[in-house]
Amino acid sequence: MASSSIAEIPVIWFQASTCTGCSVSVLNSASPTIKNLLIDEVIPGKHINLRYHATVMAGQGEAVFAELDRTSDTRKGAYLLVVEGAIPMAENGVYGCAGEKDGQPIPLATTAERLSRNAMAVIALGTCAAFGGIAAGAPNPSGCVGVDRLLHQRGIDVPLINVPGCPPHPDWFVGTVASILLSGLPKSDELDEHKRPKAYYGKLIHENCPRRAYFEEGKFAKKFGDPGCLNELGCKGPVTYADCPLRLWNNGTSWCIASGGSCIGCVEPGFPDLLAPFYQKLTDEALPAIGKGQ
Ligand code: SF4
Ligand code: SF4
């Protein structure tokens, strides 16, 4: 348990345009469990103090919005902001609001901007928060963008770490937070060109895939359930950077390709539009675009 000698790091978890799947994934963290994460010391002497999370907190209404303001105003530069979900920007953000001020709805973009300005760092959790993701899929009438785009448009210079995935693996989030508590914010060479920690997003799925030998031998599955490489069934492993084949999901139980499905590239910028159709073989023309869009 936390004692007075333990440093508490305030965390605000702000949900924008999200299906809440990223929260569900992280709440299912196995080691440490979410209880360990929130109650115990994540690393010796440091403890997370989760000040706000709309899905799991008991409070509601003005009292919890007041807590957002209090943390932002009194802990300037000392709290971590986690953003889950994309930010709707069209029509002054009217397509996504939370709370009211003077009887008027407060756009998610307004709150995300305000909280980002005072944060020590922002973690964009999930592909929607990192790159727009499914919320920004065509035709994107609400003008959803990732946090990076919001910060750029509003001129906010705060360290940003993207932890994409649809949903992200709990280890990717927990490991990123633990690393910040242990050694501070990641150095630029610890992040890739899309601000993802290389520790988790440093290698192609294709490099570590157990079906890689089939690929090299030219043995390709013709339908799901067949043995063989899933390249001809649309696998996006050759253009997707994540450690799923090594880390596995659901507490080490399995992962997409081991369970017979292909990788759909859920951690990449441009997901889902640039990676679609999911079950169509990658073409040489598509390759240069994938991973570049947002
Ligand atoms: S199944 Fe996908 S990731 Fe695995 S070897 Fe084939 S193309 Fe590469
Ligand atoms: S294997 Fe591909 S689609 Fe599946 S979780 Fe990993 S990156 Fe996402």
Q: Which domains does the chain have, with CATH numbers?
A: 7-200 (3.40.50.700), 203-294 (4.10.480.10)
Q: Read off the pLDDT of each residue in 67-86 and give the average, rounded to a whole number.
A: 95
Using a 6 Å cutoff on CB, does residue 263 contact ligand 2?
yes
- The best mutation among 205, 232, 240, 256 to test binding of ligand 1, ranked by most ligand atoms within 8 Å of the C-beta, falls on 205
Is the pLDDT score of 7 beyond 70? yes
- Residues annotated as catalytic are 19, 22, 128, 166, 206, 209, 229, 235, 244, 256, 263, 266
Using a 6 Å cutoff on CB, does residue 205 contact ligand 1?
yes
Is the pLDDT score of 173 beyond 50? yes
pLDDT at 293: 53
Tell me, in angstroms, the distance from the centre of ligand 2 to residue 53's CA. Answer: 26
Query: Cα–Cα distance between 228 and 214 in angstroms, integer?
Result: 5
53's enclosing H/E stretch is strand 46-53
Q: Which atom of ligand 1 is nearest to the CA of 214?
A: 5
Ligand number nearest CA of 220 is 1
Query: Cα–Cα distance between 261 and 244 in angstroms, integer?
Result: 13
| Reported pTM | 0.94
Tens of pLDDT, residue by residue over 178-200, are 999 889 999 999 999 999 999 99
Tell me, in angstroms, the distance from the centre of ligand 1 to residue 123's CA. Answer: 30
Tell me, in angstroms, the distance from the centre of ligand 2 to residue 36's CA. Answer: 26
Q: Are 242 and 205 in contact (CB under 8 A)?
A: yes
pLDDT at 288: 57
pLDDT interval class at 2 (50, 70, 90): very low
Locus of tokens 């979900």: 85
pLDDT at 289: 63
Query: Cα–Cα distance between 284 and 201 in angstroms, integer?
Result: 23
> Comparing 30-44, 129-143, 179-193, which segment has the lowest mean pLDDT?
30-44
The SS3 of residue 97 is strand
Tens of pLDDT, residue by residue over 237-263, are 999 999 999 999 999 999 999 999 999
Query: How many Cα atoms sit within 13 Å of 178 on the Cβ side?
Result: 17
Beta bridge partners of residue 15, listed in sequence order: 84
Query: Cα–Cα distance between 89 and 16 in angstroms, integer?
Result: 11
pLDDT at 292: 60
Using a 6 Å cutoff on CB, does residue 206 contact ligand 1?
yes
| Closest C-alpha among 27, 49, 8, 153 to residue 93 | 153
Q: Which amino acid is at 255?
A: W
pLDDT at 46: 85
Q: What are phi and psi of 205, to 5 degrees?
A: -50, -45
pLDDT at 3: 44
Tell me, in angstroms, the distance from the centre of ligand 1 to residue 272's CA. Answer: 19
State the pairing for strand pair 144-145/87-88: antiparallel
pLDDT interval class at 1 (50, 70, 90): very low
